[in-house]
Amino acid sequence: MQKIDALHDKGERPPKNKTTESIGLSAGKRAIVLVDNAGKKTAAGNYWEQKSGTELPLGGFLQQTARREGNVEAIQLRDGKRGITRRWDAGNNDWSFTALGKKYYSTLRRNYVADVPILIEGKRKNGTVYRIIAHED
């Protein structure tokens, strides 16, 4: 945290990394990551916010859903540009992933909700049969 204090005292401001979606500071040959590629603040990022009194941008490209336009899926990068994640290859009947797409889809998590019907059948004391179809929420 001493390096962060020194950089803050010099008036350094954390830029977006040129090759990734992270935000960080340069301390000589080392980099201090404040916001990772997923858009989550690191411990150093939390410390920077406390020290500087300014909030770091969150988000990152991993926090969004890719949009399909024709045979191409893309996401919006932090700088506002469109980043292509994959293209549909009709000849091979498969997706062709870009480097950005490999990074994006490798960490993408999907959540599914399964609706399972429950069938309850039984016989009452008086001999009548009942049938109940329910869904668990």
Residues 87-121: tens digit of each pLDDT: 999 888 899 999 888 878 876 666 677 778 889 99
Question: Are residues 19 and 48 both part of a single domain?
Answer: yes
pLDDT for residue 60 = 60
Range of the domain at 80: 61-107
What is the chain's Cα-based Rg? Answer: 25
**Alpha-carbon dihedral sign for residues 36, 41, 44, 49:** positive
Report the alpha-carbon distance of residue 21 to residue 121 in Å, rounded.
Answer: 56
H or E element that contains 100: helix 99-107
H or E element that contains 104: helix 99-107
pLDDT for residue 125 = 94
| Residue 135, strand partner residues | 117
Question: Are residues 65 and 94 both part of a single domain?
Answer: yes
pLDDT for residue 19 = 62
In a domain, 126, yes or no: no
In a domain, 115, yes or no: no
What token pair was written down for 13? 């401001």
Question: Are residues 39 and 67 both part of a single domain?
Answer: no
Domain count for the chain, please give it: 2
Which residues of the chain have a pLDDT value below 70?
Answer: 16-21, 58-63, 78-79, 107-111, 135-137
Question: Are residues 46 and 77 both part of a single domain?
Answer: no
Question: Are residues 9 and 31 both part of a single domain?
Answer: yes
Residue 99 per-residue DSSP state: H
Report the alpha-carbon distance of residue 32 to residue 27 in Å, rounded.
Answer: 7
Question: Are residues 8 and 33 both part of a single domain?
Answer: yes
pLDDT for residue 41 = 83
